[in-house]
């Protein structure tokens, strides 16, 4: 069997771990061959790929990002390129394509699957918002990173008698509030807290204090 794998969309923890796992399972357990398409769906449409063997994925487990690169392809572009993608799949003798991505990537995968291409999607996103999926790759790490950052901010706020406004890129702190009820920092979004607490917001909100309020120091937390 010959398998193609690609990563598409935004950054997320665990991408290289999934790539490595695909290669090890295919090569070691089944004696299959794996190729990786560079820069997501763009690599499939342009037939830009590299061979992925055990040496190619050695040492990537702890690396961030993705060794295959990523890109965002507009749905119209992919829809127009279905026949081209099908031709590349046939020319390369692929038995399956494994796209690793979030909502947009898997919508594109569904489009190709509906047109007869062999697709096995892997859900990855820190938002954990993929239908019929309990937990996506990257979600648990994002929760842990954001929660640890909030714990550190609290001690800093206590030590220096500061109010700290912690804002998040996209939705990370929304699920921190839901998943980390044991943490005093996981407060309701956009709510004033007692002095030396950290104010948790799902998006960038006002950073200028109201009359009589102490200054607030905005800090972005990304995972």
> Looking at 39, 127, 187, 197, which residue is catalytic?
127
Q: Where in the chain is the domain with CATH 3.40.50.450?
A: 2-137
Does residue 127 have an active-site annotation? yes
Q: Model pTM?
A: 0.74
pLDDT, tens digit only, all 223 positions of the chain: 999 999 998 888 899 999 999 999 999 999 999 999 999 999 999 999 999 999 999 999 989 899 999 988 776 778 888 999 999 999 999 999 999 999 889 999 999 999 999 999 999 988 888 888 888 988 888 888 878 887 887 788 778 777 666 665 554 343 334 444 334 444 444 333 343 334 444 333 344 445 555 554 445 444 4
pLDDT given at position 112? 93
Rounded to 5°, the CA angle 107-113-118 comes to: 130
Query: 2-137: what CATH class?
Result: alpha beta
pLDDT given at position 195? 39
Question: Element (H or E) spanning 201, and its range?
Answer: strand 198-201
Biggest alpha carbon–alpha carbon distance for the chain: 70
The residue length of the chain stands at 223
Give residues with Cβ within 8 angstroms of 76, minimum separation 6.
Answer: none
């Amino acid at each position: 069997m010959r398998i193609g794998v690609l990563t598409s969309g935004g950054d997320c923890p665990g991408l290289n771990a999934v790539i490595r796992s695909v290669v090890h399972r295919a090569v070691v357990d089944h004696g299959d061959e794996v190729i990786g398409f560079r820069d997501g769906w763009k690599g499939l449409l342009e037939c830009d790929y590299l061979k992925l063997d055990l040496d190619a994925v050695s040492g990537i487990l702890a690396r961030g990002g993705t060794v295959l690169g990523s890109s965002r392809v507009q749905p119209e572009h992919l829809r127009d390129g279905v026949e081209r993608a099908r031709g590349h799949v046939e020319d390369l003798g692929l038995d399956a394509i494994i796209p690793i991505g979030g909502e947009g990537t898997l919508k594109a995968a569904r489009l190709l699957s509906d047109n007869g291409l062999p697709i096995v999607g892997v859900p990855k996103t820190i938002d954990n918002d993929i239908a019929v999926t309990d937990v996506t790759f990257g979600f648990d790490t994002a929760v842990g990173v954001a929660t640890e950052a909030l714990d550190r901010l609290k001690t800093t706020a206590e030590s220096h008698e500061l109010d700290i406004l912690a804002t998040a890129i996209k939705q990370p702190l929304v699920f921190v509030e839901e998943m980390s009820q044991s943490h005093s920092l996981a407060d309701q979004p956009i709510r004033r807290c007692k002095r030396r607490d950290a104010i948790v917001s799902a998006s960038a909100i006002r950073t200028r204090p109201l009359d009589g309020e102490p200054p607030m120091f905005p800090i972005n937390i990304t995972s």
